[in-house]
């Protein structure tokens, strides 16, 4: 039941949005075709802009993995990751995610291409990436912009939420894809 609903949302989301948004835009007198291409241009820029970050992270991750250092780290932390059913390969992602968006994106891309997007690791990495944020960066930028120095409980609350996001990604993937 739960699985069917989740799968239904996954299947329907994109077609419904592709149907609804242009029709809505048309009735609101938006020049849908022209505005679409205008936005699409930005997509090109985004994809090109992330290349340096992807190369930097792919480099570091491939060295860390092909040297065997990753296996060693996974082995040390195995008791914790096994407990929540998380493959050790996802550890670097869990550490990188709150620190750097482009860094985490690089790790996800790497995991997805190395283990395959439809493997359990690929799926978990995708869900983790989609459901958490670059906490330290956002807090620094936002609070920095208004010169607030005493951030009180913002960081502990945000990090607890990240942890909840990571653990629930693992559990949900087991429920849906196992």
Positions in 62-121 near other proteins (CB under 8 A): 62-69, 72, 92, 95-96, 99-100, 103, 105-106, 108-110, 112-113, 116-118
116-145 residues near other proteins, rule: CB under 8 A: 116-118, 122-123, 126-136, 138-139, 141-143, 145
DSSP for residue 36: H
Q: Which two tokens stand for residue 167?
A: 């653990």
Q: How far is the CB of 90 from other proteins (least distance, A)?
A: 13
How many whole angstroms separate alpha carbon 30 and alpha carbon 42? 18
- Contact with other proteins (CB under 8 A): which of 1, 42, 83, 178? 42
CB of 81 or CB of 169, closer to other proteins = 169
Between 1 and 14, CB nearer to other proteins: 14
Site residues (CB under 8 A) for other proteins, limited to 12-31: 13-14, 17-18, 21-22, 24-25, 28, 30
């Amino acid at each position: 039941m739960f699985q069917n609903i989740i799968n239904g949302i996954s299947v329907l989301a994109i077609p419904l949005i592709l149907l609804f948004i242009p029709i809505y835009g048309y009735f609101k007198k938006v020049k849908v075709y022209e505005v679409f291409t205008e936005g699409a241009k930005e997509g090109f820029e985004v994809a090109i802009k992330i290349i340096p970050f992807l190369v930097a992270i792919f480099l570091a991750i491939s060295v860390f993995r092909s040297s065997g250092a990753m296996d060693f780290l996974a082995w040390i932390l195995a008791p914790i990751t096994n407990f929540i059913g998380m493959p050790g390969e996802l550890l670097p992602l869990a550490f990188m995610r709150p620190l750097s968006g482009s860094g985490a994106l690089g790790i996800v891309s790497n995991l997805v291409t190395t283990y395959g997007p439809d493997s359990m690791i690929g799926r978990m990495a995708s869900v983790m990436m989609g459901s958490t944020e670059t906490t330290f960066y956002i807090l620094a930028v936002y609070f920095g912009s208004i010169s607030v120095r005493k951030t009180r409980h913002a960081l502990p609350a945000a990090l607890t939420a990240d942890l909840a996001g990571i653990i629930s990604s693992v559990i949900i993937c087991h429920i849906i894809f196992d």
